[in-house]
Amino acid sequence: EAGVVQSPRYKIIEKKQPVAFWCNPISGHNTLYWYRQNLGQGPELLIRYENEEAVDDSQLPKDRFSAERLKGVDSTLKIQPAELGDSAVYLCASSWRNTIYFGEGSWLTVV
Amino acid sequence: KNQVEQSPQSLIILEGKNCTLQCNYTVSPFSNLRWYKQDTGRGPVSLTIMTFSENTKSNGRYTATLDADTKQSSLHITASQLSDSASYICVVGTSYDKVIFGPGTSLSVIP
């Protein structure tokens, strides 16, 4: 069974440019999360979806970040425009019965 | 404020030795506690999950304990291997489907 799939794995962009990350959760998992993880720290929740509804986006910087999960399956996280401080790993995860399954992450470097 | 603290921040041990990682939390209402292993450049992978009524859970050479009264958990690694080098993250879930991540303990196993 495929795990949580994310792309791209690595992205280097100049500041003020846009970037988008894609995530396909494990089949059948209704809950999808986007996390941001800085080096040496634990993941921080950006947004949580239950099917296509964003049920917790309180930590999402809405001035530059947006996310969508239109059909309740795969999801896209966008940053526009990117800032130097956005350099981090963006982890997508889905959950089933209290266990969260993470993707490998999308590593973003903003230069 | 819901918080998860871990100690030590980093640890270096010799291959074959045992070690214990600590997690203290102030999370309410408590639902479950999970330990994740995160290899460098990879997404976190679940090791154990414990609910309020469980005080120990094993997964191979990994044994997690939970004291819900003192709000402490430990992860004990027996006969460490080089492949155990990773970050170990304590995650506490609430009854409202929120999860709070600890900052992680970075473990290095050296030959």
B25 with B4: CB under 8 angstroms? yes
Chain A residues with CB inside 8 Å of B36's CB?
A: 102
Q: Does residue A98 register a pLDDT over 80? A: no
Q: Give the closest-approach CA distance of B93 to chain A in angstroms.
A: 8
Contact A100 B42 (CB under 8 A): no
Residue A93: list chain B partners with CB under 8 A: 43
Sign, CA dihedral B57-A99-B51-B11, equals: positive
Put simply, whether A101 touches B (Cβ < 8 Å) is yes
Q: pLDDT, tens digit, for every residue of B53-104? A: 899 999 999 999 999 999 999 999 999 999 999 999 999 988 777 888 999 9
What pLDDT score was predicted for residue A99?
80
Per-residue pLDDT of A45-84, as tens digits, reads: 999 999 999 999 989 999 999 999 988 899 999 999 999 9
A42/B contact by beta carbon, under 8 A: yes
A45, A91, A98 ranked by CB distance to B43: nearest: A91
Averaged pLDDT score across all residues of chain B: 93
Question: A100 at the B interface (CB within 8 A)?
Answer: yes
Judge contact between B24 and B102, C-beta under 8 A.
Answer: no
Residue A42 pLDDT greater than 80, yes or no: yes
The DSSP-derived string for B36-102 is: EEE-TTS--EEEEEEETT--EEEETTEEEEEETTTTEEEEEE-S--GGG-EEEEEEEEETTS-EEE-
The residue among A33, A36, A94, A102 with the most chain B CBs within 10 A of its CB, best to mutate, is A102
**CA nearest to A56 within chain B:** B98
Torsion, Cα of B34, B40, B43, B44 (10° steps): -10
Alpha-carbon distances of B89 from A30, A82, A87, A89, B24, rounded to whole Å: 24, 28, 21, 16, 12
